[in-house]
Amino acid sequence: MIVVELSDRPGQLARIITPLAECGCNILNIHHVRELEKEDTARVEIAFEADNKVNVDTVVESLSREGVTIISYSPNIQTFRETVILIGHVFTTDITDTIIQIANSGIQVASVDARITLIEEFSSVKMVLQSNSEEKLSKGVELLKQICKRKNLYLIRSVRE
């Protein structure tokens, strides 16, 4: 996980993605934090996955060469995922809003897979939620539970063993 500071202009994300990809890293999650007091910069948290051969120092070095301001980095990047299924009027209750609400809580909706029958009938939607912290993930799932309750959707969560 690397946290960097970028100016809040278009095209800035490419400055970090390209060096990371060149180092052989697989980017799992990018989280943009806009700080109120700093209007022209944004803090960006990047969670990535890399095999053992990739050295975090090399990654940091190549980012510095690009002129990116690195706020912090930690070598242990772990991602936590939970698969969930929603049943009901998932689309007519605004699925985009559902996803945005979850994303705003700091966890990523990594994938969405849906089975739609007739629009007036129930659809079934699978989502994979992802986060770099187990606690955040649990909170995200808890939030989704509340959203589903409000939107009258039936939620099936995974069970931890």
Partner 1 sequence: MRIAVIGFGTVSKSLLKVLAEKSKLILNAYGVEIKTVAVFKRDGAFINNNGLDLERIVNSQNYRNEVDWVNSADFNKLAGELNCDCAVELTPTNVETSEPGLSHIKTALEQNMDVVTANKGPLALYYPELMDLANQVKKRILFEATVAGAIPIFNLVRNTLRANKIISVKGILNGTTNYILSRMTSEKLPFKIVLKEAQKLGFAEADPSYDVDGIDAAAKLVILSNALLKQECRFKDVNRQGIKDITPEAIELARKDGFLIKHLATNENGVLEVAPRLVEVDSSFAVNGSLNVVKLQTDLAKDLTLIGRGAGGVETASSVLNDIIEIAILRR
CB of 13 to partner 1, least distance (A): 29
For residues 86 to 115, the per-residue mask of contacts with partner 1, x marking binding by CB under 8 A and - elsewhere, is: -xx------------------------x-x
Question: Judged by CB under 8 A, does residue 150 bind partner 1?
Answer: no
Question: Judged by CB under 8 A, does residue 85 bind partner 1?
Answer: yes
CA separation for the pair 129, 113 (Å, rounded): 12
Question: Judged by CB under 8 A, does residue 117 bind partner 1?
Answer: yes
CA separation for the pair 42, 56 (Å, rounded): 22
Question: Is the Cβ of residue 65 or residue 160 nearer to partner 1 in the bound state?
Answer: 160
Distance of CA 49 to CAs 10, 20, 62, 77, Å? 25, 10, 17, 7
CA separation for the pair 150, 122 (Å, rounded): 16
Question: Judged by CB under 8 A, does residue 122 bind partner 1?
Answer: yes
